[in-house]
Amino acid sequence: MKTRERFEHANQFLGCYFNPDWHCDFDEPEEAVAEYIKYASPRTRAGALHDLRQIIAEFQGPDLNRAMLEIDCYYSPERFRGVPMRQWLDEVIAELEQSLTGTS
């Protein structure tokens, strides 16, 4: 099974909000994540959260970057901020968790 199919919720989130032209819609990646959180249902966000946790458990280093491309995520935190992909995904996971628990 392809990565895109295995991680359908992450693909829907990152593939839509971090497509090749993501920067045309958002100035910062945090804006894209906030927009997703605003419009995605709790169930959909929980699915994306689960997928992202699985992805970082299974892939590290360059394999993680390749997995992100396979699920159509074209944002590169290394390129834009000098931040490793894993660190950025941990931040996204924290935002999703926070949105589901209702804490700020």
Q: How do residues 44-75 score in pLDDT, each as one tens digit?
A: 999 999 999 999 999 999 999 999 999 999 99
Model pTM score: 0.92
| Cα separation, 94 vs 21, whole angstroms | 24
Amino acid identity for residue 87 in this structure: Q
Q: Of 99, 2, 10, 5, which Cα lies nearest the Cα of 56?
A: 10
Question: What is the reported pLDDT for 70?
Answer: 95
**Is pLDDT above 90 for 4?**
no
Q: What is the pLDDT of residues 10-43, one digit of tens each?
A: 999 999 999 999 999 999 999 999 999 999 999 9
